[in-house]
Each structure stands twice: as structure tokens, then as C-alpha cells.
């Protein structure tokens, strides 16, 4: 309480503030509303992250390079990102690196040097050229490794059907020693 000069007594509590108990209840209610907003935000972020993970799993696969036929572009043990929905990144073109799924389960990772209907460049001719000719048949691809001395590819086996192309390499990950 406070006494004024005229002797009247006034209350020191401000009329605009609620009592302490009401203020504590408001603070608790405000905290729970704030917490519920945080929980909703977290839930929304988890849903978004889950959708991205689902899209990634449905469209991409990590493949490990086995061998030295693609050096110096990709090294043995390096991980590359392959998509089987390669139309997301455009159709297969000359210069693309593709994964070819051979009958029997083996895989080749090679660079496309000629598409169906195109002439095979002379520097990539091999024994298979004498069997198939210099022009790639329609719906086939002619592929070679970047390390020509260590690569088993279309020069030995001929062109591969497009139906054997499992996917297209769209990225890589190299561990730093």
C-alpha cells in the first residue's frame, strides 16, 4: 500500500496486471502452445524428409565401381549414384556413363560412344566390328571404358541392347584418404 499526501490509501497493484496465479497459468498455457507449434513444425519436417527419402529410394541407387576400366574418371571402390529413371536427367546421349546389366547378373559401367544408327568412331573399333559392322543397330548402344587398355566392352562384345541399360550415372562420391 501507498499513502499519498492527502492521506488517501491506494493499492500498489496495477489494475492491468492479473494476479500472480493467473499470470503463471497464462505462462504455462503459452509454453504449451509454443511447444505444440514446435512439435507440428518437427512433424512437418519429418514428413518432408520422409518424402525426399522415398523419392530418392524410388529413383536412385548407389553403385560401387569394381575394377579399373573407368579410370581416371571413376576409381575402383568409388561410389556412384545411378538412376534408372534416367529420363529425369535427359535421354541417353553420347558421353553418358551407363550401367549395363548383363545376363547372369554381371554389371558393366561404361561410357556411351555411339547410339543406334550412328557410326562407331574408328578409335573404338575392335574385333566385334567385323561381326556387327561399323554402324550401331537401332535400339543398341556402343560403350567403352575410359581406360581402353583394361576395359572389356563393346569392342569385344559388340553393341548392347538398350533394354540391358539399367541406369545412368548422375553423380559420384569419392572418399578422401
d(Cα 74, Cα 124) in Å, to the nearest integer? 20
For residues 96 and 150, membership in a common domain is answered with yes
pLDDT at position 169 is 92
pLDDT at position 11 is 53
For residues 107 and 165, membership in a common domain is answered with yes
pLDDT at position 176 is 60
For residues 97 and 157, membership in a common domain is answered with yes
* Per-residue tens of pLDDT for the chain, all 177 residues: 555 566 555 555 555 555 655 555 555 555 677 888 889 999 999 999 999 999 888 888 988 898 999 999 999 989 999 998 877 788 899 999 999 999 888 899 999 999 999 999 999 998 888 888 889 999 999 999 999 998 989 999 999 999 999 999 998 877 665
Count the neighbouring beta carbons within 10 Å of the beta carbon of residue 162: 15
Segments forming the whole domain that contains residue 14: 1-59
CATH number at residue 80: 2.10.109.10
User: Considering 12, 37, 59, which residue would you say is the last residue of a domain?
Assistant: 59
In this structure, are residues 72 and 146 in contact, taking their beta carbons and an 8 Å threshold?
yes
In this structure, are residues 83 and 175 in contact, taking their beta carbons and an 8 Å threshold?
no
Residues that are catalytic: 69, 110
| pTM of the predicted structure, to 2 decimals | 0.70
Nearest to 107 by CA among 169, 172, 155: 169
pLDDT at position 17 is 59
For residues 40 and 70, membership in a common domain is answered with no
For residues 135 and 80, membership in a common domain is answered with yes
For residues 39 and 53, membership in a common domain is answered with yes
Q: Strands 97-101 and 107-115, how do they pair?
A: antiparallel
pLDDT at position 105 is 84
pLDDT at position 32 is 76
Amino acid at each position: 500500500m501507498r499513502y499519498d499526501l492527502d492521506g488517501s490509501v491506494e493499492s500498489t497493484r496495477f489494475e492491468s496486471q492479473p494476479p500472480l496465479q493467473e499470470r503463471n497459468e497464462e505462462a504455462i498455457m503459452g509454453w504449451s502452445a509454443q511447444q505444440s507449434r514446435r512439435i507440428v513444425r518437427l512433424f512437418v519436417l519429418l514428413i518432408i524428409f520422409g518424402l525426399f527419402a522415398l523419392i530418392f529410394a524410388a529413383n536412385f541407387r548407389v553403385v560401387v565401381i569394381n575394377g579399373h576400366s573407368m579410370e581416371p574418371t571413376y576409381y575402383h571402390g568409388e561410389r556412384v549414384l545411378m538412376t534408372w529413371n534416367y529420363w529425369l536427367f535427359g535421354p541417353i546421349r553420347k558421353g553418358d556413363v551407363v550401367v549395363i546389366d548383363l545376363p547372369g547378373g554381371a554389371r558393366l559401367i561404361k561410357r556411351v560412344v555411339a547410339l543406334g544408327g550412328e557410326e562407331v568412331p574408328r578409335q573404338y573399333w575392335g574385333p566385334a566390328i567385323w561381326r556387327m559392322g561399323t554402324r550401331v543397330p537401332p535400339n543398341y548402344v556402343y560403350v567403352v571404358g575410359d581406360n581402353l587398355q583394361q576395359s572389356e566392352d563393346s569392342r569385344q562384345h559388340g553393341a548392347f541392347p538398350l533394354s540391358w541399360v539399367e541406369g545412368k550415372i548422375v553423380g559420384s562420391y569419392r572418399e578422401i584418404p
